Amino acid sequence: MMSPIPNWLALLVGATVFTVMLSLGLLLGREQIAAALQRRVVLAAVLFAVFIPVPATAVLIVKLFGIKGVVAAGILLMAISPGAPVALRRAIEAGGHAAFAPVLHLAIVLSAVVAVPASVAVLDALFDKNFTVSPWEVARQVCVAQLLPLGLGAALRAFRPVLAARIEPLLTRVSNLMLIALVLVLLVVLWRMLEDVGWVPFLAGAGLSVCALLFGAGFAGWDAPVRPAGAVAAAMRNPGLALLIATVNNLPVGVIASIFGYALGLALVVTAFVVLQGRRHAAAP
């Protein structure tokens, strides 16, 4: 059985995700949707990169290197769980198209309602395990954690644009500080379990994230302005969704550490990508 996450930690995670998504919702308006619709082919190509090559590569790595147990479970669950709440912020920081990136993220989290249960069924068949998760469970996680605060932010932008513009920078700073605090707390709480599972989830998360950045940028193709957003969207995975699947299937507690180890490797690679992209833009004439 999975050990329950302490109530205080669950509240911290929930408050952090809500604040991040609310701040991002303030960036979402009609002009973003119009910009995305002008790039329908690129949007579909990046969605394919998010849902197909990344999980397929994770399965290949797990089988090729003989990774088993809780470590393999954590890697695979992260690989099939797209749409991290911070993905949109990272995409914009990496120079992603500020109008296209919000709608891309929205399309990913909506598609996950169908794609994630389908991916779980594929893993069930490939590894002969009794994995399950219903679209309703995924939809509830996506709606409460992401769509609700995103919608509130978008509504505030639509009906009170001056107020939204005034509070967005402050809310962004607060959400970034909350994210840093959350990572530090999770490191302290999960350190012993991270030691138990070893470095494999971290290395797998870093390696798969590099591959995912290449997939996302490659499928964005000729559309250079949205290429950074496509790269980050393909790389970012949702630990909350991965933990939901683990909890529903009563997987061992070590899966939590494996998921977090993957997330640390992912964070390192995506942060490096964002920094490099920022320097490239700063150096551009």
Predicted local confidence at residue 1, as pLDDT: 46
Predicted local confidence at residue 87, as pLDDT: 66
56-64 long-range contacts, CB within 8 A, separation 24+: 57/208, 57/211, 57/212, 58/204, 58/208, 59/123, 59/126, 61/204, 61/207, 61/208
**pLDDT tens-place string over residues 233-245:** 999 998 888 888 8
**pLDDT tens-place string over residues 44-77:** 999 999 999 999 999 999 999 999 999 999 999 9
Domain boundaries, the chain: 7-274
pTM of the model: 0.84
Predicted local confidence at residue 251, as pLDDT: 83
Q: CATH number for the 7-274 domain, one of 3.40.1160.10, 1.20.1530.20, 1.10.4160.10, 3.40.50.1100? A: 1.20.1530.20
Q: How far apart are CA 253 and CA 46, in angstroms?
A: 33
Using CA atoms, how far residue 219 sits from 14, 36, 158, 229, in Å, is 32, 15, 32, 11
Low-confidence ranges of the chain (pLDDT < 50): 1
Predicted local confidence at residue 258, as pLDDT: 93
Predicted local confidence at residue 263, as pLDDT: 93
Q: Which residues contact 250 (CB under 8 A, 6 or more apart)?
A: 1, 2
Q: How far apart are CA 264 and CA 260, in angstroms?
A: 6
